[in-house]
A and B are shown apart, each in its own frame.
Chain A
Amino acid sequence: NAGVTQTPKFQVLKTGQSMTLQCAQDMNHNSMYWYRQDPGMGLRLIYYSASEGTTDKGEVPNGYNVSRLNKREFSLRLESAAPSQTSVYFCASSESPGGSWNYGYTFGSGTRLTVV
């Protein structure tokens, strides 16, 4: 009954380093998302995957890439980290992008990333 699992939970990077945030869901959901959350900015969508094999940009995609590895897994890659990417990153999943009519999105526990 894990739901959405994100790794790592915490990470400190130096400017210019790269890293991949991993996300896996065990709810057989079709759609998966990556959000970042900054103080006063709310949740901002980075990228999403409506279904296996598709990915689309969200509100703030610059500096990020994603891979929908299979139906369960959706990774987010920072190729050259910048201090502006210091944030809390949440992965989420749902039956469809609009959320099923009664279940919305299920979120992972988040990754706190600091870029120095």
Chain B
Amino acid sequence: QKEVEQNSGPLSVPEGAIASLNCTYSDRGSQSFFWYRQYSGKSPELIMFIYSNGDKEDGRFTAQLNKASQYVSLLIRDSQPSDSATYLCAVNRAGNTPLVFGKGTRLSVIA
């Protein structure tokens, strides 16, 4: 099992819909979870972080964490064409070691 797994997509959603991006991880000692957005040809930029079970909302974005199921997700409400990008999930493992990144899910929001 890979350390951090994401469906590569593409995930296509119509404008205005909710986009749901999922990520699973293998290290039960992981404590912090990050979502990055990467536009084509650009560098990753941090959009959300979460470290407690439950939901965390920031504008149109909601991160959800379930440590028992080793699952973290990102919901994008009222999706816009400008949300079309690759979304990377990153997880820190137990101990002070580098973040592990998933391969990313490509999201396409259709106008």
Give the interface of A toward B (CB within 8 A): 33, 40-43, 45, 48, 50, 58, 90, 96-99, 101-110
Contact = CB atoms under 8 A, between A and B. Distances in A.
Interface stretch (B12-20, B61-69, B77-85, B88-96): B88-96
A40 B103 contact: yes
B22 to A, nearest CB: 16
Contacts of B104: 42
Interface residues of B, number: 25
Interface of B: 8, 31-32, 34, 36, 42-46, 49, 51, 88, 90, 92-93, 95-99, 101-104
A106 B51 CA distance: 18
Nearest to B6: A42
B107 to A, nearest CB: 15
Contacts of B31: 98, 101
A113 B96 CA distance: 30
Given A45-B98, A50-B96, A98-B92, A90 B43 contact: yes
Chain A CB within 10 Å, residue with most, of B32, B44, B51, B101? B44
B88 A99 contact: no
A108 B90 contact: no
A107 B98 contact: no
Given A98-B92, A101-B51, A43 B98 contact: no
Given A102-B49, A104-B34, A43 B96 contact: no
Contacts of A58: 98
A104 B88 contact: no
Contact of A42 (B45, B92, B101): B101
Nearest to B51: A101
6 contacts: A43-B88, A98-B99, A103-B46, A104-B49, A106-B46, A109-B43
A26 B34 CA distance: 22
Nearest to A109: B43
A103 B99 CA distance: 12
A48 B98 contact: yes
Contacts of B34: 99, 104-105
